[in-house]
Amino acid sequence: MFKIVKKFLIPSLRRRAESSNHLKALDSALYHRYFLQSQSHWLFALTLCCLLSSSPLFAKETAPDSELRDLLVMAINDSESFQDRFDAEVWLMDMSQRLQRRVRKQDHKGQLQLLKQIHAEATRAELAPELVLAVIEVESNFDRWALSHAGAQGLMQVMPFWLKEIGKPDDNLFHVHTNLRLGCTILKYYLDKENGDLTRGLARYNGSLGRDVYPNKVFNALRQRWYRQ
């Protein structure tokens, strides 16, 4: 491209130039343009190499330990919410490794049990389990004992008044199964009210309809950590 400009465009512009100063400015401008383009191509190549070198495709794979494998086998055999054994193995293996990076204090057995319960309750409510994982991360960061200043409790930060509303005032929202059952049911209800609009449904769940801060937090968590490969 530069050669074409140099061969055809410059002679024409040179004839129209009114002074030598104009010519010098023109040649200088073309030179700088070509130099910047060359520099941008070089920087692009360097950036691409850096991205490829840090890609998961180039990362060293580490095999799971035997304890985790044994726990997965037991969890898979008792995973009623999965369509088949292979789906259970893939999902539990994938999500348990991601959860381990978020909840280091919990053992493998506890993590797998939690993942099974999340998958079961999300599936029961016809929600994507990955979406529920993202909501839990934002709401409580997987702390089953989380308590907000407003009084919301547990993994999915369910408000206690719901227990009275459903005639179960003595139930415990810090109980994982109870919290997940109510949280997933409530989330599904709000999503249905918004005709599947995730932004508005999530905002309703958080009590912030009309604002995008909370939905965006969930979307970021879903995109960065809980997406399904």
Q: Residue 135: CA atoms inside 13 Å, Cβ hemisphere, count?
A: 28
Of residues 37 and 83, the one with the higher pLDDT is: 83
Question: What does the alpha-carbon distance between residue 42 and residue 179 come to, in Å, rounded to a whole number?
Answer: 54
pLDDT digits (tens, 9 = 90+) for 76-95: 555 566 667 788 888 998 99
Which of 38-47, 60-69, 84-93 shows the lowest mean pLDDT across its residues? 38-47
**Model-level pTM?**
0.65
DSSP string for residues in 174-214: TSHHHHHHHHHHHHHHHHHHTTT-HHHHHHHHHT-TT--HH
pLDDT of residue 65: 55
The catalytic residue positions are 139
User: Is residue 115 in some structural domain?
Assistant: yes
Enclosing H/E stretch for 28: helix 20-53
Question: What does the alpha-carbon distance between residue 14 and residue 7 come to, in Å, rounded to a whole number?
Answer: 11
Question: What does the alpha-carbon distance between residue 121 and residue 132 come to, in Å, rounded to a whole number?
Answer: 9
User: Is residue 18 in some structural domain?
Assistant: no
Closest CA to 153 of 134, 135, 133, 172: 172
User: Is residue 127 in some structural domain?
Assistant: yes
Q: Please, which pLDDT band fits residue 32 given cuts at 50, 70 and 90? A: very low
Of residues 174 and 72, the one with the higher pLDDT is: 174
Which of 13-27, 72-86, 108-122 shows the lowest mean pLDDT across its residues? 13-27
pLDDT of residue 222: 96
Q: What is the arithmetic mean of pLDDT over 147-151?
A: 95
User: Is residue 10 in some structural domain?
Assistant: no
Of residues 34 and 176, the one with the higher pLDDT is: 176
Residue 151 lies in domain: 66-226
Contact between 212 and 203 (Cβ < 8 Å): yes
Buried b (16+ CB within 10 A) or exposed e, 153-174: bbbbbbbeeebeeeeeeebebe
CATH code, domain carrying 212: 1.10.530
Place of tokens 């949280």: 183
pLDDT of residue 73: 61
Determine whether 81 is exposed, middle or buried from the number of CB atoms within 10 Å of its CB (0-12, 13-18, 19+): middle
Question: What does the alpha-carbon distance between residue 175 and residue 23 come to, in Å, rounded to a whole number?
Answer: 80
Amino acid at site 98? R
User: Is residue 160 in some structural domain?
Assistant: yes
Highest mean pLDDT pick, 37-41, 83-87, 196-200: 196-200
pLDDT digits (tens, 9 = 90+) for 154-189: 999 999 988 888 888 899 999 999 999 999 999 999
Question: What does the alpha-carbon distance between residue 140 and residue 138 come to, in Å, rounded to a whole number?
Answer: 6
Q: Is the pLDDT of residue 67 over 80?
A: no
User: Is residue 167 in some structural domain?
Assistant: yes
Which of 2-16, 142-156, 194-208 shows the lowest mean pLDDT across its residues? 2-16
Q: Is the pLDDT of residue 64 over 70?
A: no
User: Is residue 204 in some structural domain?
Assistant: yes
Structure tokens given for 20: 């030598």
Count structural domains, the chain.
1
User: Is residue 46 in some structural domain?
Assistant: no
Question: What does the alpha-carbon distance between residue 160 and residue 152 come to, in Å, rounded to a whole number?
Answer: 7
